[in-house]
Structure 1
Amino acid sequence: MGWLWRRKSKRRMARIVIEGAISGSTRRRVLKALREVQEREFPALLLRIDSPGGTVGDSQEIHAALLRLREKGCKVVASFGNISASGGVYVGVAADSIVSNPGTITGSIGVILRGNNLSELLAKVGVRFETVKSGAYKDILSPDRALSPEERELLQSLIDSSYDQFVGVVAEGRGLDRETVRTFADGRVFSGAQAKDLGLVDELGDEEQARLVAARLADLDEERCRPLTLGKPRKRLLQNLPGSSLLLRLNQLLTTELELSGQPLWMYRP
C-alpha cells in the first residue's frame, strides 16, 4: 500500500495543524508533514495555527520549511484560531495569505527569557550549590543566585538580536518596513480585527474562509476541494480515561515548562 502514500495530489489541498506551544516535538511533526506535502505535490496547504508561540529555533525551522514549500509552487494560507501569538505569528508570516478570526489573540511580537532566582528560598532550607565552571558566564541563569549586571547585559544583547530577527521576518513577510513593525512589536497583543488594521493579517474569517482563499490561490474547485489533514499528533494513552482532559492538560503544561525552561522564547506568556 506504500504507493498510495506516494501518489500525487495535484488537485487536493493539504492541512496541517500547529496547536499548543511550539517546541521540538511540534517541529519534528510539522516538518515531517511538510515533507509529505512537497513529495505528494499538493498545490495548496491550509495551515491552522492555534498557538501562543514557543522556542525560537523551532519556530524558525518551520518558517523556513514553509518558504521552501512555497518556492516549489505550493500556495500556503494560514488560519489563525483562538490564539496565534509570538512564534505563531513568526510561522504565520511565511504564508502567502493570513486569515484570522476577528477575536483571535495575536501579536505579542518580541522575545522573553526567564530564569528562577531561588537563592532566598534555598538559603532558608539550607541548600547551597557548589559550582565549578570553565568561564565566567557558564552558569548564567543559575537558580541559586541573582544575575550580575554583566550577565544581564549579555542576555539583553541576545534578546535584542533575536528581536531584530523577528522584526525583519515580519516586515518581509507582510510587506512592511521595519520601523512600521517596531511601532507595534513591543510585546502587546491584538485582536484579529486590530491585526488586520496593522497589516499583520490579510482578511478576517474562520477556517472555512481560509480554505476558500487557498482554493482560489491554487485554482482548485472551491466546493469540492476538501483538505486532507497530515501530521496528526499521536493519541495519548490517558485520552480515554475518566478525567483525562484535566490530566492531559496538566501533563502538557508540565512538559511545556520543562521543554521551554531557560530558553529564549517567542511566546505569549500572560
Structure 2
Amino acid sequence: MRKVIVGVLLAVCLAAFIYGITRNTKNEAHQYSSGGKVGVIYLEGPIVGGRGSGGLWGDPVGTDALIRHIRKAREDSDVKAVVLRMNTPGGSAAASQEVAAEIERLQKAGKVVVTSMGDVAASGGYWIAAGTDRIVANPATTTGSIGVIWSVTNMQELFRKVGVAQDTIKSGPYKDIGSPARPMTPEEKALLQGMIDDIYGQFVAVVAKGRKMDEQKVRSLADGRIYTGRQAKELGLVDELGDMYDAISMAAEMAGLNKEHPVIKEYGRTSPLERLLGDQRTGTQLGKLNWSAVLPEILPDIIY
C-alpha cells in the first residue's frame, strides 16, 4: 500500500513539474478573441539588481530578467497593453529606478501600462507603480512606505566579546563608512543623511509627477508609513480597487481591446514546483540564499 501511495505522489509531482515547464517555456497566450494582446509581467519578491538569486522569503526579483520581459513586451507588436502584477516590499533604490525607466520606455512605445497590486506593493514597488498609467489595488493591499532607509549595524561590542579586532588601512577618512566594527561619527551620519535626503527627493518627485500631486502633499504622505489599498485610494495613491483581472480588463479597454475576453500573454511566470526545485538557467537553487535580501541590516544598502 505504501508503494502505491509513493508512486501516486511521485506521478502527481512529475505531472505538476512537466506542466509548469511546458507552461513557462511555451508562454502561450490564452486565445479568447482576435486582435491585440494584454501582456502580464510578474514582479514578485524583493527588488535587487542583476540576476537575483534564491531568497529565504521568496526569490528576489533580479532586474536583468524583469527588464528582459518588459523589453519583450515592448517589441511584441501584438501586445497593446501590459499589466504589471506586483507583490513586492521594495528593495534596492537603484534597481527600482532601472525598472521604472524601462516601464517609461514601454509607455513611450505606445503601450498602456497598468499596475495590479497584490498582497503588498510598497516602497520601491510603489516607485515603479507611480509612473504607470493606472494603479489597481485590492482593498487590503499593503502599499505606500514612500521613503528611503540605510541601516548600519554596530557590532563593536559583539566583536570585543568574541575576541575579534579589526585593523583598517584606508585612503581617506570616509572609505570605511558603515563599518560594523565601530560607531559612526557625526560627520559620517551627516554625509549619509545627505544621500538619503537626495534620493528621497527623487522619490517624491516621481510620485508627484506620476500621481499628478503637489509635491508638498506627497511629502505629507511620504513619511514611510504604509496604507491599505482602500486608504491609498482615498489619498489618491491608487486609482481603483480590484484584483488582477479587473486590472487586465482596464488595460484592455484603455488600449481599445475587448475588455470582456482579452487575449493574455504571460511573461516569466514559473510554477511553484519550479521555484522550489530551482532553475539553473537563472541561477536560482534550493538552499542558495541572497543575504543582501535576507539580512539587509548586516549588509547595508540604500533601499526603498
Higher mean displacement: 89-98 or 10-19: 10-19
Residue aligning to 1:17: 42
Query: Tell me, what secondary structure is at the counterpart of 1:138?
Result: coil
Mapping for residues 1-270 of structure 1, pairs under 5 Å: 11-24=36-49, 25=52, 26-41=62-77, 42-232=79-269, 235-236=274-275, 238=277, 254=291, 256-257=293-294, 261-266=299-304
Helix, strand or coil for the counterpart of 1:28?
helix
1:123 is matched by which residue type in structure 2? R
Whether the 8 Å contact between 1:113 and 1:264 is mirrored in structure 2 is yes
Alignment CA distance shift 1:158-1:145 (3 Å): same
Q: Could you report, residue by residue, the CA deviation over 1:132-188 in whole angstroms, capped at 9, with x for unpaired residues?
A: 111100001101001000000000000000100000000000000110100110000
Q: Does the CA-based 8 Å contact 1:29-1:233 persist in structure 2?
A: no
Q: Secondary structure of the equivalent of 2:221?
A: coil
8 A contact 1:122–1:144 mirrored in 2: yes
Q: How far does residue 29 in structure 1 lie from its aligned partner after superposition?
A: 1.1
Q: Secondary structure at the match of 1:113?
A: coil
On the 8 A contact 1:49/1:81 being kept in 2, the answer is yes
Matches of 1:231 and 1:71, distance apart in 2? 22
Where does the alignment leave 5 or more consecutive residues of structure 2 unmatched? Answer: 1-25, 28-33, 53-61, 279-284
CA distance in 1, matches of 2:199, 2:186: 20
Return 127-136 or 10-19, whichever deviates more. 10-19
Q: Aligned equivalents of 2:37 and 2:83: distance in 1?
A: 11
How many aligned residue pairs are there? 253
Residue 243 (structure 1) aligns with: none
Q: In structure 2, how many angstroms separate the alpha carbons of the residues matched to 1:213 and 1:252?
A: 37
1:244 aligned partner = none
TM-score norm. by structure 2 comes to 0.78
Give TM-score, length-normalised by structure 1: 0.88
Contact 2:36 2:263 in 1 (8 A): no
Tell me how far apart the structure 1 counterparts of residues 292 and 194 of structure 2 sit (CA, whole Å).
28
Greater than 2 Å deviation, 4+ residue runs: 231-239, 250-255, 257-261
Contact 1:46-1:227 within 8 A present in 2 as well: no
The alpha carbon displacement at 1:227 in A equals 2.0
Give the secondary structure class of the aligned counterpart of 1:15. Answer: strand
Q: Is the partner of 2:47 in helix, strand or coil?
A: coil
